[in-house]
Amino acid sequence: MAQQAVADQLGLNAADPTTLVVDLNCAFASIEQQHDPSLRGKPLAIAAYATNAATIVSSSREARDLGIKTGMKVFEGKAIFPRLLVMEPNPPRYRAVSDRLMAILERHSPDLLRMSIDEASLNLAGTPDLARLGPKGVGLSIKKALRAEVGECITCSVGISTSIWMAKQASNLNKRDGLERIDHTNLVSVFERLRLTDLSGIAEASARRLQFAGIHTPLEFLRSTPEALHRAGWNSEHAKGWLQRLRGFEVSNFEGVARKSYSHSHVMARATSSQRELEELLMRLSDMVGRRLRAADRRGRVVSIGVVYRPVAGHFSKQVTLPNPISTGEEIYRAALELLAAREPRREVGTLGVGIAGLADADAGQMGLFTGEIRPRNERLETAIDAIRDRFGEDAVQRARLLGRAKVVRDRIAFGNTGHPDED
């Protein structure tokens, strides 16, 4: 009765949970261990590139037990465990496992949302399995099928709740093959043992803004008001959305802060000042940025580049705002190339990045009179190339200038993007 009184007081969603979130554990590393038995039981890190300065995008359970986590640099991981195994990603292999996971989930409900390469949500409302198995039974069935059909190394955490966001919180409670439920009867007790940054979508910067407004814990967040959140710099719609989300309600199309840019960067194994090498790298990066932009059905007007010099520290960045929005790699490359000309030509470049901002939906605005026919044709061509690269890798189709060149930039999986082309 006391729990019900608290739930009523806070206005929590008291509906029976029908939403599941399924999250593969240590996804990329576990998939590699399943593929190659010699990797099993060993500390393994999947890094964006095979350099000590690269970022670890996935670590095996054995590596995590040593304190080696996603987001660390390779050299930081090796400082903890010098014999750490490091591999570059194999995106086609990960997408294949992701596709098999989706096929398993579809057996239980047609209402399926692929949230990222290693995570999906499932709505059981109105399905026979909700009555036959219940949410917990469906979760156990998914786990069993995953092991049998994908492999014994592949485990998942399942969260059950009344909304996708809250089910994701439940899946985060136990990242080792867990199955957890959050509803109005235990939501408060769960929030009592969490930090603000444990809440999905609340990073350090957001937590600092909330703390500035006097909100230091998830429970204080839950009990806050739109006025209090306004003091943290949040607008009314954003604040109301979060307060509904924290109470277990589904908030349609509420993503917190909309994505403002797309970018790709590359840390080179050997610094260079060669204009030819930098142009070729810039071309690859521009193509990858364009691909992610089109996958989101968006365009951008602000192109930027970033350069980190080596071995002497220093950096350079520059951007340009274009008169019309663009989305193809060729257009991004042409704008970025002009920006690159402003770098210090005698200094060696160790890292090069390309980005695009000033985003709008692809169908927003009008095309120019003389570009109206050319741009759609170019976009259709690059969209076709996207599909080939998604399936066979970034270097499956190359510009003529890049034929025969080393695979400088690898096909990558972006978190939160099945883009099919960042993880757990």
pLDDT single digits (tens) 66-101: 999 988 999 999 999 999 999 999 988 998 999 999
| Spatial contact of 411 and 389, defined as CB atoms under 8 Å apart | yes
Coil, strand or helix at 301: strand
Q: How much of the chain, in percent, has pLDDT values that exceed 90?
A: 57
Determine the residue type at 346: R
Q: What is the 3-state secondary structure (H, E, C) of 112-169?
A: EEEEECCEEEEECCCCHHHHHCHHHHHHHHHHHHHHHHCCCCCCEEEEEECCHHHHHH
Predicted confidence band at 418 (pLDDT cuts at 50, 70, 90)? very low
**Cα distance between residue 99 and residue 390, in whole Å:** 13
Structure tokens at 252: 């349609």
Non-local (6+) Cβ contacts of 44 within 8 A are 29, 32, 33, 59, 60, 62, 63, 84, 85, 86, 87
| Spatial contact of 298 and 271, defined as CB atoms under 8 Å apart | no
DSSP-assigned beta bridge partners for residue 47: 56
pLDDT single digits (tens) 111-160: 988 888 899 999 999 999 999 999 999 999 999 999 999 999 999 999 99
**Cα distance between residue 16 and residue 351, in whole Å:** 51
Higher pLDDT, 255 or 8: 8
pLDDT single digits (tens) 292-324: 888 777 889 999 999 988 877 788 889 999 999
DSSP-assigned beta bridge partners for residue 123: 19
pLDDT of 174 above 60: yes
pLDDT of 420 above 90: no
**Cα distance between residue 226 and residue 222, in whole Å:** 11
At residue 60, the pLDDT reads 97
Domains within the chain, CATH numbers bracketed: 1-16+183-257 (1.10.150), 20-180 (3.30.70.270), 261-402 (3.30.1490.100)
At residue 65, the pLDDT reads 96
Predicted confidence band at 9 (pLDDT cuts at 50, 70, 90)? confident
pLDDT single digits (tens) 387-413: 555 555 555 555 545 444 545 455 455
